[in-house]
């Protein structure tokens, strides 16, 4: 008995010691763990910021989407319910099977989605019959919607469902917690580049739950902070005009504010509807887009690599004048061809019988190939490549979307690294007219032309105009690269005057397109070969495959004396060159820009779209 009494006493002391440890020493930790089991934080998704054009026209909005949801524990017989809903809402067997699979993974008191996106007919029918289906309800959420469809796709981009790669990236950037309740994320364009501004901050609902996880009551709510609304530099009216002009064509039209780099228009054609991606595009549909010979997924404005052709002759002229290889009065004889000393091949001018005596100004005005063959050979590829890098060729422009290529500004080192081959003089000759390995994006051409227009100022192209949150609107900063400073600033004037003559002079390549304009503009046409021709081979656009026809190019700015807007146009595989095809398109775009008295209000633009 003494032994049992001592054992019981020791056991009691042990229990008391353990109670002291639990109730006193571990009180705070255990209370916290208890509350963690009792109190749950449910994330609340923020409303995504809206996107407007420069005039306040809504380009990306949040639209309500309705889903049909069922609470299983409130349904007496699930099979009977599904059999009743199937003909009522025209549900297919695949939808019902997906719902049955979800039931196996969800708790009986949780809402399970039967129809993720109800159409208007389904909404109306169920609303009229809802009294027959206790435990079944319509729930609403906001999803991204692009009211203008394909009109702004390559600028805006789109949002789509968050996938595994997005989760991994957000985890690496320590942003995953902010997407706890978010279904979609910016994938392309402005939607992706300004994701941090547009997304907002997640909120939380603090709820009390029982031991089975059922919500008993809401304790408090920390509301989410909506994303910032952003305004783009893009003008909807000009964007619509550019889209109309590119209908049925492949190519790009860009207009940029010459004074600060703001992108007024950026259209790549053909395009596609970004709304297809918001809730998940089918594999078959995506493959059709991906494998299309017209490449609608490619943003030609920033990813299309085109031989710049004669549009870069003004820049080459600047280099020749700066390095004193030529002067404004230097003349050469153009018989219609050019030969490298000691070589047999002749490099043809576009005018078979030649232009006779030409100086640098006339060479730009009439786009004399022979003059620039000769100039390029005297300059050499090293000097050409180094100087053109200052105009932004062979490098990213810095535009605020991720979809951009740096294209190719060839050099000796580039060719050795790419092909392990030496550079040849004949390749330098072709570079002199913007051909050979040289490629440029329309955005690079726009920026380079802007440098010519402003006499050296190098603006970073920008889509974002301003952002707004809680009623305050903040203008975006305009960035600049170091300007190009010439030893002789008057060389800018030589090229500028020649480009004015291109559009307005008696011999200018774009004179017909710009006849009788109420404004004075400057420009340069170009016709880029897609397929090389043999020395004696003749080019006939109507007899060759459409995909091998030349590209029509145009760059320019207006007004010529005080430039406001820069324009670059690239049209693929056309019947005609830059002067006959691209320049008329540029004329219509500039006419639209200067037609300020007849500009519609934002509401008129919306009405026209409807």
Question: Is residue 493 annotated as involved in ligand binding?
Answer: no
Check 310, 367, 385, 521 and give the catalytic one: 310
d(CA 323, CA 383): 9
Q: Is the dihedral of CA 396, 400, 405, 408 positive or negative?
A: negative
The rounded distance, in Å, linking the Cα atoms of 330 and 430 is 21
Helix H segments across 173-247? 189-193, 195-199, 236-245
Residue 384 and residue 394 in contact, taking contact as beta carbons nearer than 8 Å = no
Please give the pLDDT value at position 596. Answer: 63
Residue entry with tokens 């595989």: 573
Sorted by where each starts, the structural domains of the chain and their CATH numbers stand as 72-134 (no CATH), 299-463+478-603 (3.40.710.10)
Q: How many CA atoms lie within 13 A of 105 on its CB side?
A: 7
Ligand-binding annotation for 334, yes or no, is yes
The helices-and-strands tally (H runs, E runs) of the chain is: 23, 23
Q: What is the Cβ-side half-sphere exposure of residue 318, based on CA atoms within 13 angstroms?
A: 28
pLDDT of 168 reads 92
Token readout for 260 is 């600060």
How big is the CA angle at 254 (ends 252 and 260), to the nearest 5 degrees? Answer: 160
- pLDDT, residue 607, reads 45
Residue identified by tokens 């009743």 is 84
Spans in the chain with pLDDT lower than 50: 539, 600-610
* 368 assigned binding-site residue: yes
Which helix H or strand E contains 593, and what residues bound it?
A: helix 583-594
Tell me: is residue 349 an annotated ligand-binding position.
Answer: yes
Q: Give the pairing type, strands 565-571 and 39-44.
A: unpaired
User: Which alpha helices (DSSP H) does 157-271 contain, by range?
Assistant: 164-172, 189-193, 195-199, 236-245
Q: Which residues contact 454 (CB under 8 A, 6 or more apart)?
A: 258, 259, 563
310: annotated active-site residue = yes
**Residue 86 CB neighbours (<10 A):** 14
Say which residues have a Cβ less than 8 Å from residue 185's Cβ, sequence separation at least 6.
159, 160, 162, 166, 179, 195, 199
pLDDT of residue 264: 96
At 425, phi and psi to the nearest 5? -60, -35
CB 199 within 8 A of CB 170: no
The reported pLDDT for the residue numbered 378 is: 95
pLDDT computed for residue 211 by the predictor: 56
Neighbours of 19 (CB within 10 A): 10
β-strand 39-44 against 203-209: which pairing, if any? antiparallel
What per-residue confidence (pLDDT) applies to 601? 47
- Residue 213, φ and ψ in degrees, nearest 5: 90, 5
Burial (CB < 10 A; 0-12, 13-18, 19+), residue 474, is exposed
CA angle (393 as vertex; 387, 394 as ends), nearest 5: 110
The residues facing 267 across adjacent strands are 253
Q: Residue 172 in contact with residue 164, Cβ under 8 Å?
A: no
Residue 34 has what pLDDT? Answer: 55
**Backbone CA torsion sign across 23, 29, 35, 38:** negative
Q: What are phi and psi of 565, to 5 degrees?
A: -135, 140
Total-model pTM: 0.85
């Amino acid at each position: 008995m003494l032994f049992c009494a001592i054992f019981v006493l020791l056991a009691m002391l042990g229990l008391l010691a353990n109670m002291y440890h639990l109730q006193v020493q571990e009180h705070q930790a255990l209370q916290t763990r208890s509350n963690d089991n009792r109190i749950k934080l449910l994330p609340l998704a923020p409303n995504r910021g809206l996107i407007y054009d420069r005039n306040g026209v809504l380009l990306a909005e949040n639209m309500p989407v309705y889903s049909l949801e069922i609470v299983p524990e409130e349904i007496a017989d699930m099979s009977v319910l599904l059999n009743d809903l199937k003909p009522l809402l025209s549900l297919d067997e695949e939808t019902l099977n997906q719902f049955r699979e979800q039931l196996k993974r969800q708790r009986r008191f949780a809402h399970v989605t039967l129809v993720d996106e109800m159409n208007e007919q389904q909404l109306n029918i169920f609303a009229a019959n809802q009294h027959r289906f206790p435990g079944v309800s319509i729930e609403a959420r906001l999803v991204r919607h692009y009211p203008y469809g394909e009109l702004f796709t390559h600028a805006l981009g789109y949002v789509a469902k968050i996938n595994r790669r997005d989760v991994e990236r957000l985890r690496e950037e320590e942003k995953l917690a902010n997407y706890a309740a978010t279904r979609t994320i910016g994938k392309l364009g402005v939607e992706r580049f300004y994701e941090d501004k547009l997304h907002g901050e997640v909120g939380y609902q603090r709820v009390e739950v029982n031991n089975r996880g059922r919500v008993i009551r809401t304790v408090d709510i920390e509301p989410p902070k909506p994303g910032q609304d952003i305004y783009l530099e893009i003008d909807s009216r000009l964007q619509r005009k550019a889209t109309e002009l590119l209908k049925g064509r492949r190519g790009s039209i860009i207009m940029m504010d010459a004074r600060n780099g703001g992108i007024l228009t950026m259209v790549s054609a053909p395009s596609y509807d970004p709304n297809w991606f918001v809730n998940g595009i089918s594999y078959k549909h995506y493959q059709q887009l991906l494998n299309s010979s017209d490449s609608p997924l490619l943003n030609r404005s920033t990813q299309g690599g085109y031989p710049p052709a004669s549009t870069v002759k003004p820049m080459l002229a600047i280099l020749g004048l700066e390095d004193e290889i030529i002067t404004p009065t230097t003349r050469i004889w153009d018989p219609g061809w050019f030969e490298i000393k000691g070589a047999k091949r002749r490099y043809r001018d576009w005018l078979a019988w030649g232009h006779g005596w030409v100086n640098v100004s006339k060479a730009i005005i009439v786009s004399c190939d022979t003059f620039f063959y000769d100039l390029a050979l005297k300059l050499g590829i090293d000097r050409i490549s180094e100087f053109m890098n200052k105009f932004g060729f062979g490098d990213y422009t810095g535009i605020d979307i991720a979809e951009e290529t740096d294209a190719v500004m060839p050099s000796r080192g580039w060719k050795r690294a790419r092909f392990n081959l030496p550079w040849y003089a004949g390749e330098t000759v072709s570079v002199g007219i913007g051909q050979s390995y040289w490629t440029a994006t329309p955005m690079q051409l726009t920026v380079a032309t802007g440098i010519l227009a402003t006499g050296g100022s190098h603006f970073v192209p920008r889509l974002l105009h301003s952002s707004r949150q809680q009623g305050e609107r903040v203008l975006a900063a305009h960035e600049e690269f170091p300007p190009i400073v010439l030893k002789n600033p008057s060389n800018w004037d030589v090229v500028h005057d020649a480009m004015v003559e291109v559009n307005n002079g008696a011999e200018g390549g774009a004179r017909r397109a710009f006849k009788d304009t109420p404004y004075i503009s400057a420009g340069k046409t170009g016709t880029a070969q897609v397929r090389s021709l043999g020395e004696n081979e003749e080019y006939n656009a109507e007899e060759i495959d459409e995909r091998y026809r030349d590209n029509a190019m145009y760059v320019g700015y207006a007004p010529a004396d005080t430039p406001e807007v820069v324009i670059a146009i690239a049209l693929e595989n056309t019947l005609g060159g830059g002067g006959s095809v691209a320049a008329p398109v540029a004329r219509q775009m500039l006419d639209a820009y200067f037609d300020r008295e007849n500009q519609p209000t934002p509401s008129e633009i919306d009405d026209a779209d409807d």
